Structures are given as C-alpha cells and as structure tokens.
C-alpha cells in the first residue's frame, strides 16, 4: 500500500520528468496552435471544492483512492494534498487508446488483482470519461471485491455521442467538455504533453 509521503515524492519526480520531456518527439499532429480549454487556476479551484465535499461525505471513514494510471496521476496527486480525511492510494493501469492517441483497442485492466478492496471505502479516479467503457469495466471489477462503498471520480466528462447507453455517469466530476482531443494535466498524446499545467484542446 502506498503511503502519503511516498506518493508525494513519486508525484514530484514524475511531474518533473513529464515537464522535461514534453514536446521532444516528432508529431504527426500539429500542436503549434493548442487552445487553452481549462486553466491551472480553474483546475485548482475545482479541486479545493471537491476535496471539501469528499471530506464532508467521508467523515470518520478512511478512503482508498484507486487511481487509473497514467492519466489520473497528476490529478490524484493534487487532490490528495487537499484531502484531510485519512486515505491510502492504490494504482491500476487500463489501456484502450494505445500509442496512436485516438485509436481505440480492446480494454485491459492490470494490477487490480494485487489490490485488496474488501470492506474498504473506494473512490476510483480517472482522467477522462469518454464512452464510459473504461470506468464501467473498472467499477464492475472492483464491485466483485465487495467494498464497503464504491464511487467514481473523473476530471473531465466529454459530451460525446460515443457514450455508452445504460451506464451510470461518474459520482464526482470536475468539468464537462466538448468532444475534442485534449492534452495536458496528465492527459497525453503518444506519452507526451502530460506535464502541461492546463488542459488544451487539439484541433
């Protein structure tokens, strides 16, 4: 189980690496005209509000944040710094986009078999809600472990026609955005641009 101190250290190291490496690759998409969609200040404000809500709702409980890597890493890191409620952090990896950015493939979940969530108060954290396939699949698998409670938390909810029918929306979300490809604040294109402090749309 990852301690708060260790997580904060890893957060600093990973964010530093992401910032140093962003943009150092030949792109097949023109990123010269990135459009700022959500500023660093707006993200910070929403996170503070969200942390207060979570602290109120989970009073006298201990939370397990189940973070979906890699996109949710920076978001989770900033969120837990505002959380006063006792918590622990676990990480899993889901993949469906691959290294070609916009192309989807078969969803795989890695690491969940190593995490004990029975009788825990679990919040699944992810960066973006598009079709809903990733979150729905993870929530179903986590539910099999019989947690005491289970909720979902998403940074961005896309307003898209790709959204699957008959599945629940996230319990918590910070922003609803247009159906555009976005990078920054943990979201990437071919593993780059995660270190941008704001969230940018790509035309």
Domain for residue 33, yes or no?
A: no
* CATH label of the domain that carries residue 139: 3.40.50.2020
- Return the higher-pLDDT residue of 8 and 39: 39
Domain for residue 26, yes or no?
A: no
Domain for residue 131, yes or no?
A: yes
User: Which pLDDT score is estimated for 176?
Assistant: 96
User: Which pLDDT score is estimated for 19?
Assistant: 43
Please count the structural domains in the chain: 1
pLDDT band at 18 (very low <50, low <70, confident <90, very high): very low
> What positions carry a catalytic annotation?
130
23's tokens: 């943009």
User: Which pLDDT score is estimated for 25?
Assistant: 43
Domain for residue 29, yes or no?
A: no
How far is residue 2's CA from residue 86's CA, in Å, rounded to a whole number? 13
pLDDT digits 0-9 by tens, 111-155: 999 999 999 999 999 999 998 889 999 999 999 999 999 999 999
Could you write out the DSSP letters of every residue in 113-162? GG---TT-EEEEEEEEESSSHHHHHHHHHHHTT--SEEEEEEEEEE--TT
Mean pLDDT across the chain, nearest whole number?
A: 85
User: What percent of the chain has a predicted confidence (pLDDT) above 90?
Assistant: 64
- Return the higher-pLDDT residue of 37 and 28: 37
Residue 97: domain span: 4-21+40-202
User: Which pLDDT score is estimated for 22?
Assistant: 46
Does 101 score more than 50 pLDDT? no
Domain for residue 31, yes or no?
A: no
Does 100 score more than 50 pLDDT? no
pLDDT band at 162 (very low <50, low <70, confident <90, very high): confident
Domain for residue 59, yes or no?
A: yes
Domain for residue 141, yes or no?
A: yes
CA 129, chain centre distance (Å): 9
CA 71, chain centre distance (Å): 5
Domain for residue 71, yes or no?
A: yes
Reported pTM: 0.81
């Amino acid at each position: 189980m990852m301690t708060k101190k260790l997580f904060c250290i890893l957060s600093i190291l990973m964010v530093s690496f992401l910032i140093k490496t962003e943009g150092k690759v030949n792109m097949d998409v023109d990123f010269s005209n990135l459009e700022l969609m959500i500023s660093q200040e707006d993200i910070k404000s929403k996170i503070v509000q969200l942390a207060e809500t979570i602290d109120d709702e989970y009073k006298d409980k201990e939370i397990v944040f189940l973070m979906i890597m890699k996109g949710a890493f920076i978001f989770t890191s900033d969120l837990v710094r505002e959380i006063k409620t006792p918590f622990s952090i676990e990480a899993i990896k889901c993949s469906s986009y691959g290294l070609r950015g916009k192309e989807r493939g078969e969803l795989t979940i890695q690491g969940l078999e190593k995490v004990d969530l029975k009788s825990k108060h679990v919040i699944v954290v992810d960066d973006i809600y598009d079709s809903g396939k990733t979150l729905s699949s993870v929530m179903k698998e986590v539910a099999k472990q019989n947690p005491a409670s289970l909720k979902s938390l998403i940074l961005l909810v896309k307003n898209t026609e790709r959204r699957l029918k008959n599945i629940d929306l996230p319990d918590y979300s910070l922003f609803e955005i247009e159906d555009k490809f976005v990078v920054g604040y943990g979201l990437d294109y071919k593993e780059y641009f995660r270190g941008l402090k704001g969230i940018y749309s790509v035309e």
